[in-house]
Amino acid sequence: MPITLQQCQTWDQADELAALRDEFDLPAGTIYLDGNSLGAMPRNALARAQDIIARQWGVDLINSWNKAGWWQLPTRLGDQLAPLVGAGAGEIVVTDTTSLNLYKVLANAVRIQQRRQPERKVILAERDAFPTDLYMVQGLLGFMDRGYTLELIDRPEDLPSRLGEQTAVVLLSHVNYRTGYQWDLSAASQQAHAAGALIVWDLCHSIGAVPIDLEAADADFAVGCTYKYLNGGPGSPAMLWAKPRHRADFWQPLSGWWGHARPFDMAVDYAPDRGIRGFLCGTQPIVSLGLVACGLEIFAKTDMHKLRRKSLALTDLFIALVEQECAGQGLTLVTPREHAQRGSHVSFRHPEGYAVVQALIARGVIGDYREPEVARFGVTPLYLRFVDIWDAVQHLKAVLPQREDARRDREHSRHPAQPGCAAVRPGGSPGVPGQHERFRRLQRNLGRVFRLRRPDAHHGGGASAAPPASADRNQGHRLPPPARHGPATLKETTMQPKYGLPKNLMDWVGAHSDRLRPPVCNAALFPDGNYIINMVGGGNTRTDFHDNPTEEIFYQIRGTAYLNIWDRGKFDRIDLKEGDVWLMEPHLQHSPQRPDPHGLCFLVELKRPQGAIDTLNWYCPRCAALVWGASMELKDLVADLPATYQKFYALSDAERTCPHCGTVHPGKDYAAWHAIREAHA
């Protein structure tokens, strides 16, 4: 029987956890499916923050270290959190970030193994771990410089065969951040111990989402964040757990005042607290810690087994509804169906995954995206209803056909029926809907934006700049030259339009030719309107790929250019010949190449809406893997992008090394980048 809205409403009426939704301040009209990245705000969080700031700090001042219990807050929160992970009192501390806590426990685990089994020199981790886990391992081993190596497994089933006499420490993510795969905590811990290794667990995507029993699993160390399913607020401090049996060997590299056994002795030499407080370092972020309590207090009103039952029911529903409502729309489930192997988020691959997620966000359905092509939806049973899942899938059903149309349009632009022609043509192509209207709209808009004169010798184009009409590949495509107002007409008018009077495009080019040459090549025609309107000159090429959240119009007035495209882990190319016009869809990662020194392109973009994010990515020229990227709210196209370029160019060779194939990205040496790219095309 098909699942219906009425059935979802019935399940909500029977939900034993329904009242917990009232504990959160959820924005109206939003279906929040990103609690696995940042949890929703507890309803009492604002009042709690105000009390900490206004009364505890504002009135009681320094007395609050004792009066409000600030000094004990990291361990008090740890005791509140302990039942969620199967730990005892005095075994958990809430402090610092997940990354810092991971560094501490890894250093402790390695130190223990150095003393017990110094011949073990391998840290074993997952290739698909959240990157910060691998970065922390790399940083620790690089700092120690004692011959340790990091080895990676590609699949959970590879773990037993990769454990050996050299394995010192195993680092695993209990639930994978991308796929939602859940490890068997006990089985993996036993396998590590049987091989003589210690095991460290990253609980970021499981704590507060699935039942955890660290003691029963015989784990050694664990870290996890509090701002996801625990709803502690953005950047809230993380948790750290160490098995009590390891306290005799306690050591951590960040030996700060708060971790001292007798901090108020103000001694010169460091003596670590042998309890869990030994993992503290410096003064704690009291306001953030106070907000963590708001989320933990909600968990005290239920238990993890009830939450797990609802989580599985909601994720089962999500999967079933997508298969029922969105069949044949290119979605591929990457999250395990088996309950024992599933966390609390559901992920699907789709060729237009990023655009799908952005379209859903525009509709008020907030999920997120992870490379490659993964649309990820966090399911938080504390505040999500069954009808929320139904509504979310209906929105997904609505946006998927639009993305498929966009994909077909893009494929047509890359592989047109006429060889060598990559631009949108007035006649379109059979079977590609919307091309006639798209061109007509584009032509109308361009006509409103500028008055175009054919390039000729008088306006700097040279005798060869404009091909004869018989050679024009775009007959019917080129805008006719409009009648030009004479100077007297312009002088006599009393009008003062908001954006000024008309400009002659080629006259303007001649007057600003110095700005259309490398290294910038860009100059703005109309800086004050709702469009970003630039002229772009030649010769230059780039190595960055720009992810623009809005459409772009390219009109190649003179010469030739091309766009390198990065799409779904592969490179592609779109050619722009003289006279070609192309409307590019949002979020198509592109790298404009303008090797023609006489080239000239008219470029139109929309000014970004508030909160819109542009991203610059640099990809390995050999394997197309991401090497480095940066995101920003773009204010000035000409000024903001070069600043990001300089950040990338300043990176060391090690920082520009591809994590997949080891190729060093040549930075701003675009000739070298293109040479490597051509050699491996």
Residues annotated as catalytic are 130, 202, 227-228, 376
SS3 71: coil
The β-bridge partners of 151 are 124
SS3 115: helix
- Render 349-403 in DSSP notation, one character per residue: E-TTHHHHHHHHHHTTEE-EEETTTEEEEE--TTT--HHHHHHHHHHHHHHHHHH
Structure tokens at 155: 């699949």
User: What are the backbone angles phi and psi of residue 432, rounded to the nearest 5°?
Assistant: -110, 100
The β-bridge partners of 616 are 546, 630
Are 590 and 584 in contact, with CB atoms under 8 Å apart? Answer: yes
For residue 234, whether the previous peptide bond is cis, meaning omega lies within 30 degrees of 0, is no
The β-bridge partners of 126 are 153
Q: Can you tell me which residue has the tokens 């000239």?
A: 600
The β-bridge partners of 201 are 172, 222
First to last CA, the chain: 50
Give the number of C-alpha atoms closer than 13 A to the C-alpha of residue 69, restricted to the C-beta side: 8
Radius of gyration of the chain (CA): 30
Residues 567, 113: Cα–Cα separation, whole Å = 44
Residues 241, 258: Cα–Cα separation, whole Å = 17
- Greatest alpha-carbon span in the chain: 93
Residues 641, 96: Cα–Cα separation, whole Å = 33
Are 294 and 51 in contact, with CB atoms under 8 Å apart? Answer: no
Residues 209, 202: Cα–Cα separation, whole Å = 13
Residues 544, 526: Cα–Cα separation, whole Å = 25
Give ∠ CA 265-268-271 in degrees, rounded to 5: 70
3-class SS shares of the chain: helix, strand, coil, % to 5:
40, 20, 45
Are 435 and 429 in contact, with CB atoms under 8 Å apart? Answer: yes
Structure tokens at 496: 């003062």
Are 36 and 376 in contact, with CB atoms under 8 Å apart? Answer: yes
SS3 276: helix
Q: How far is the CA of 291 from the CAs of 38, 48, 142, 225, 626, in angstroms?
A: 14, 7, 36, 13, 36
Structure tokens at 271: 């003596």
DSSP for residue 13: H
